[in-house]
A and B are shown apart, each in its own frame.
Chain A
């Protein structure tokens, strides 16, 4: 049993070593996609007309937590939106 656990840990370590960069790049790519999605959601508040704005309001509670990191990544030191004062 112990041998089995040790082997499993070894395989996990090996996989972690090899996939470190790949996981990083996939995370970066997914984050870029998410950043674009956030831009679409906040577009109306930023002055870009968005016909689906009304429906995106439902998502706000889910994305509020990530809003601060998002505007920092977009190169905006302070929140660009009047209604959202995260910093």
Chain B
């Protein structure tokens, strides 16, 4: 089967989902009102509350939610064959992610643009707020650890990408200060920055002296270095330390100085990347060589598939964006369908092309199976395969494969670095908020909170043991990241369901995906915590066991809360003014 056909079928499913299901949700469930005065108009202040054109807002929403995660998860999940991954991405996007992203946007709009965290407090009380904070804390901790590992791993696998990624930092600072001081536009300088980055990637692809290859510097793969570490482990350690120093500085700077100009450049990269992959697919017309399903998998796809692909099928993080920023800028309530639902469709399309890039990369099914020989192997090398596969698709546009792979790795690292920066910043805020909640004053200080965030993230990245030694096992945390993300989505869907129930509306379209997510999350955690990571299991791991157990308790807590609130005859008062 041709990869193009898969893209066409996927496109049709996503289109039908948007055209019919989201219309049904908008008209019959959320009952959008074109005359409702949105917070953007009601509290217009020119900064946070600004009525925005729906196309602009959709583009902004999509670029905010799309990153490296919808690439990493699918690149791992194709281990179980391409069909389960494709089905979960498409059906998850249509029936879960779309409803979730759209719903959190509407819920927030109907409640003064408040975020889901505040709404959890309002609806269920203080304990829900604390639960929410702890789940986000775990989620951002996982994000920090996993993405630090992703970047270090890609720097080691694609040393030609390092120069471009580091060049982006001064360029972003230059753009940020230029716009701030002179109020100039960002478009031209950011395109110049992109051109400089890609020129550096092209040159570095052909000039080994410009490739910052730490493994070679430390004497090659077999060499032993300081503290008895091998060259690869030492490279992981050095990159992770450098990354953590960088994120410490980046996350304590004002966002307009570095984070946002870099985001702006990365948005170009998202467009370049998606365009390159879909056009490359069209020109190369590759065949799918990966198996449809994997009958010899060492780990069952059920229920792990549903937490391996979080972003791209459903992600709680999107609810934070929907209710945190997009809801304050929605011009008309009816725009919520376009912005929220179609935003998740865009993310689904990104996950789909990530799957296609991987499953069309190998010349034969045997070679696919040799690389994806086990779930651990798939987790460790999935992203590298995606980059090579994407490079292969881009080669169809006349770009040399080596350059295309470097550029794709620059794109993925750039996404991951921005996510890491935002995530450490968010973790700092949460630590400060918890410090204020429990009267631990030092934690409310910026540098103390950032130090706690950075040190705990670095430790978590380095502790899991991977096949290449110390520091190479960060991917083991991926299922935990997926689980924390799904829990967050579960809470948001629960809040939407309660809101709908209080309004005497049909809440099945939101409670069913919520129940599905909670069931899968708990099943996956029970099976992994008690069978794989427990002290009595063969591959016991105290770190994963403890984190998994905490997440399992949170999942149980949410489920019990959901049952008690939904089954209550007189639910706590919620905003009925709508």
B56 touching A16 by the CB < 8 A rule?
Answer: yes
Docked Cα-Cα span, A69 to B45, in Å, equals: 9
Min CB distance, B34 to chain A, in Å? 22
Docked Cα-Cα span, A26 to B254, in Å, equals: 10
Q: How many A-B residue pairs have CB under 8 A?
A: 68
> Quick one: given A11-B187, A17-B63, A29-B254, are A22 and B56 in contact (CB under 8 Å)?
no
B55 touching A17 by the CB < 8 A rule?
Answer: yes
A18 beta carbon closer than 8 Å to chain B = yes
Min CB distance, A11 to chain B, in Å? 7
B53 beta carbon closer than 8 Å to chain A = yes
A22 touching B53 by the CB < 8 A rule?
Answer: no
A17 touching B264 by the CB < 8 A rule?
Answer: no
Chain B residues contacting A25 (CB-CB under 8 Å) are: 254-256, 260
For A19, the closest partner residue in chain B by CB is B186
B254 touching A15 by the CB < 8 A rule?
Answer: no
Chain A residues contacting B60 (CB-CB under 8 Å) are: 17-18, 20-21
A16 touching B53 by the CB < 8 A rule?
Answer: yes
A28 beta carbon closer than 8 Å to chain B = yes
A22 touching B52 by the CB < 8 A rule?
Answer: no
> Quick one: given A17-B63, A17-B267, are A22 and B47 in contact (CB under 8 Å)?
no
Docked Cα-Cα span, A18 to B187, in Å, equals: 8
A27 beta carbon closer than 8 Å to chain B = yes
Query: Which size bracket describes the interface of A in this complex?
Result: 10 to 19
Chain A residues contacting B228 (CB-CB under 8 Å) are: none
A63 beta carbon closer than 8 Å to chain B = no
> Quick one: given A18-B186, A22-B260, A24-B47, are A29 and B55 in contact (CB under 8 Å)?
no
Q: Is the interface of A mostly helix, strand, loop or mixed?
A: helix
B59 touching A19 by the CB < 8 A rule?
Answer: no
Min CB distance, B245 to chain A, in Å? 24
Q: Which of B213-271 contact A (CB under 8 A)?
A: 254-256, 260-261, 263-264, 267-268
A13 beta carbon closer than 8 Å to chain B = yes
Chain A residues contacting B268 (CB-CB under 8 Å) are: 18
Q: Which of B176-195 contact A (CB under 8 A)?
A: 179-180, 183, 185-187, 190
Chain A residues contacting B71 (CB-CB under 8 Å) are: none
Min CB distance, B415 to chain A, in Å? 15
B287 beta carbon closer than 8 Å to chain A = no
> Quick one: given A11-B187, A27-B47, A28-B47, are A17 and B56 in contact (CB under 8 Å)?
yes
Chain B residues contacting A78 (CB-CB under 8 Å) are: none
Chain B residues contacting A17 (CB-CB under 8 Å) are: 55-56, 59-60, 63, 267
B55 touching A15 by the CB < 8 A rule?
Answer: no
For A31, the closest partner residue in chain B by CB is B47
B50 beta carbon closer than 8 Å to chain A = yes
From B45, B52, B256, A20 is in contact (CB under 8 Å) with: B52
B64 beta carbon closer than 8 Å to chain A = yes
Chain B residues contacting A19 (CB-CB under 8 Å) are: 185-187, 264
For B271, the closest partner residue in chain A by CB is A14
B187 touching A29 by the CB < 8 A rule?
Answer: no
Chain A residues contacting B47 (CB-CB under 8 Å) are: 24, 27-28, 31
Q: Which of A1-41 contact B (CB under 8 A)?
A: 11, 13-22, 24-29, 31
Min CB distance, B57 to chain A, in Å? 8
Q: Which of B179, B260, B268 has the most CB of A within 10 A?
A: B260
Q: 1/0 per position for B46-83, CB-CB distance to A under 8 A?
A: 11101011011101100110000000000000000000
From A16, A21, A28, A69, B325 is in contact (CB under 8 Å) with: A21
A15 touching B48 by the CB < 8 A rule?
Answer: no
Docked Cα-Cα span, A32 to B456, in Å, equals: 32
B263 touching A21 by the CB < 8 A rule?
Answer: yes
Docked Cα-Cα span, A21 to B267, in Å, equals: 12
B180 touching A15 by the CB < 8 A rule?
Answer: no
Min CB distance, B39 to chain A, in Å? 15
B48 touching A24 by the CB < 8 A rule?
Answer: yes
Docked Cα-Cα span, A13 to B46, in Å, equals: 19
Docked Cα-Cα span, A17 to B256, in Å, equals: 16
A18 touching B53 by the CB < 8 A rule?
Answer: no
Sampled A-B contacts (16; CB under 8 Å)? A11-B187, A15-B187, A17-B63, A18-B60, A18-B186, A18-B190, A19-B187, A20-B52, A21-B60, A21-B64, A22-B256, A22-B260, A24-B48, A25-B256, A27-B47, A69-B45
7 pairs of A and B residues whose beta carbons are closest in the complex: A17-B59, A25-B256, A20-B60, A22-B260, A16-B56, A15-B187, A18-B267
Which A residues have a C-beta under 8 Å from some C-beta of B?
11, 13-22, 24-29, 31, 69
